[in-house]
A and B are shown apart, each in its own frame.
Chain A
Amino acid sequence: MRLRARARYRGGRRVTDTDYEKLATDAGLERVGARAPLGAYLKELWERRHFAYTLARFRIQATMSENRLGLGWIVIRPIFTAIIFGTIFGVIMSSESRPDNFVPFLVVGVFIFEFFSKSFSAGAKSITSNASLVRSLNFPRMLLPIAAVIQQVFELVPIIAVMTLIIVGFGEPITWAWLLVPVILALMTMFNLGIALISARLTVHLRDVTQIIPLLTRILFYSSGIFYSLEQVLKDKPPWLLKLVELNPIHDFITLVRAQMVTGNEASPLMWWVVIGSSLSMLIIGVIFFWRAEERYGRD
């Protein structure tokens, strides 16, 4: 075959009469960079899971070595947030809505919310901040937001340990119900991963998303009942308002953990349904939404 002999040049541009499409199909070649079908994609993800796991581990080690306090910051940050809100709303502006066992109540709220907000912001940046990695190596891009969430899960371990110490220190009894906490956190991890995947793709399309995330996080912080009890605040309001609050998964994750660990807190069965439903649906929506744009991540 003397294909190239047929090439001609016209106006500084090479034109040929070769049917390249046919040539490629005849030779059994596959289109490069084509998005794999979902099943194959998930299989490839699983095969390269060590990459996500190792990346998360190395990232933590890197932040640890950069700061003097290293790992300490993971715990110190939420403790400071809790102290600030505890001082303002527990001491200075103390009101009726202040729930019993305020310190354990507040600590659970702040610490669990931190898990969500950090996954959200780290997930959003996971593709754009790893541009050179994305541009130089081929791997399923979903590994990057997954690595970001895995990192948050690793960091959750010391956070939960400190949270438990504080709670026990303030006299909460250790009960069998505590065994449900890992289940709630596992569901929350699925939920966070879904959110991270969605925000990772949106950030690629529109960088402005990173500016909105702190605002959304703040709105969620105030509407999820971190330092006050929504149940007490809405006690005298129409009951549908409380139902509406209970449809906020983040509020439900926090309330469910409180219900297991802090006496005087109760969770309604509806919350379990909301938590299970939103975790599954967020994860599925997130995976599909992210996967559909797989071919785009290297271009922008």
Chain B
Amino acid sequence: MTEAPTAPPKLGAPIVVANDVHVEYRTHASGKALANGGSLFKRQKGIRVVHALKGVSFEVREGESIGVIGHNGSGKSTLMRTIAGLTTATQGAVYASSRPALLGVNAALIPDLSGEKNVLLGALAMGHSKAAAEEQYEDIVEFSGLSEFIDLPMKTYSSGMQARLRFSIAVSRDHQILLVDEALAVGDKAFRDKSEQRIRDLREQAGTVFLVSHSMRSILDTCTRVLWIDHGNLKMDGDPKKVVKAYQASAKK
């Protein structure tokens, strides 16, 4: 339990504010829970509520780039999805100056369609006009470095290739707030360098970046502040070096 470090100087206006965010998922328990209850009503009772976030609050100001760390299943990805507005908080709320864009590692957008079609659809879904989407197409494919494979269905891509394509689609638009959920971890060295550069560029355009990563190196390289999420709680919030050190110390125990 350490004291949070004082805020670094010259910070802008609040960009993202999370106020007591709780997220509960209702999942169907399987295995034992199901085998025990044969009847329809028992099975309904098999629904388990998973409390993924248990009251997370913080505020992020213009120009900050936030690292988010924590062990698997701690609620990092849920937090990212909630900030992006893809999952709604069960209690509390997230406020932002503009709609944040999330780059996650979940499955391909539409696995049956080719990379080319996914690029176009992704660009259209993000709000590009038809003309803009076609115009952006070349840039997106070039950034992804996948032009050789762009005609193949996305389900044939490796997870690294899928992540590269998704990342390239998402950064084709300037986002004021960008959430990167381990999307960089799967790329190769060259692509990772290119993406980290792109994230730094975005940040310079007064953008705010959240980076979820298990690589402490990339957290320390790109972030000015770190949030440590532990079992759905915000355990620590502050200077990257301090938080990473405390996190690593707890992981060794």
A residues bordering B, Cβ < 8 Å? 1-5, 7, 9, 12-14, 16, 18, 20-21, 23-24, 27-34, 47-48, 50-51, 54-55, 58-59, 62, 66, 130, 132-139, 143, 295-296, 298-300
Contact = CB atoms under 8 A, between A and B. Distances in A.
Interface string B99-135: 1111010111110110001001110111101100100
Contacts of B106: 132, 135-136
Q: How large is the interface on B (under 10, 10 to 19, 20 to 34, 35 or more residues)?
A: 35 or more
B88 A58 contact: no
Contact of A298 (B4, B83, B87, B236): B87
Contacts of B113: 58-59, 62
A51 B125 contact: yes
B97 A27 contact: yes
A139 B125 contact: yes
B238 interface: yes
14 contacts: A9-B1, A13-B55, A16-B57, A27-B13, A29-B15, A31-B95, A32-B94, A32-B96, A33-B87, A48-B124, A135-B87, A137-B109, A137-B125, A138-B125
Contacts of B104: 135-136
Contacts, number: 164
Contact of B6 (A4, A50, A139, A295): A4
Given A136-B109, A137-B109, A12 B17 contact: no
B234 interface: yes
B97 A20 contact: no
B14 interface: yes
The SS class assigned to the B binding surface is mixed
Interface of B: 1-2, 4-7, 11, 13-20, 23, 25-26, 55, 57, 59, 81-88, 93-97, 99-102, 104, 106-110, 112-113, 117, 120-122, 124-127, 129-130, 133, 166, 230, 233-238
Given A24-B17, A138-B125, A298-B88, 7 more contacts: A31-B94, A33-B82, A58-B117, A58-B121, A59-B113, A130-B110, A298-B85
B121 A2 contact: no
Given A21-B19, A32-B84, A32-B85, A54 B95 contact: no
Contact of B99 (A32, A54, A59, A132): A32
A91 to B, nearest CB: 40
B48 to A, nearest CB: 14
A268 B102 CA distance: 55
Contacts of A66: 112
Contacts of B6: 2, 4-5
Nearest to B94: A32
Contacts of B234: 13-14
B84 A30 contact: no
Contacts of A139: 125-127
Contacts of A12: 1, 230, 233, 235
